[in-house]
Amino acid sequence: MKDEEKMIFEILYQKYKTLLLCKKECSREVNRSISSLDRDRKNAVGMQYIQENNGNVYYPITEIVKFILNSQIKTI
C-alpha cells in the first residue's frame, strides 16, 4: 500500500474498528447513496463486496480506499 492508501485505511479502521463496512457506512464514506451502491452491484461495476448468505452486503475497507483514490481528479 502507498502512503496515502495507508493513511486513509488507518483512518477508516480507527473509526469503525472493523475491516468490513455495511452499505450505510460505505455510503457515508464515499458520499454516494445506498441506492447508487445497489445499482453498481446490480450492474457489476464499482467496488468489490462481500455478500453473506442472508443477503447482507459488506465492503472491505481496502476497496473503499481504492474507490476514494481512483475517484480523485488530479490537477496539474
**Is 76 inside a domain boundary?**
no
User: Does 75 have pLDDT greater than 90?
Assistant: no
**Dist. CA 76–CA 62, nearest whole Å:** 27
Q: Please name the residues in contact with 4: beta carbons below 8 A apart, sequence gap of 6 or more.
A: 69
* pTM, entire model: 0.90
Q: How many CB atoms lie within 10 A of CB 3?
A: 7
- Structural domain count of the chain: 1
CATH number at residue 23: 1.10.10
Query: What is the grid cell recorded at 11?
Result: 483512518
**Is 57 inside a domain boundary?**
yes
Confidence category of residue 9, pLDDT binned at 50, 70, 90: very high
- Write out the residue range of the structural domain in which residue 23 sits: 3-71
Task: Note whether 73 and 13 are within 8 A (CB).
Answer: no
**Is 45 inside a domain boundary?**
yes
**Is 17 inside a domain boundary?**
yes
Whole-number pLDDT of residue 67:
95
pLDDT digits (tens, 9 = 90+) for 38-60: 999 999 999 999 999 999 999 99
**Is 16 inside a domain boundary?**
yes
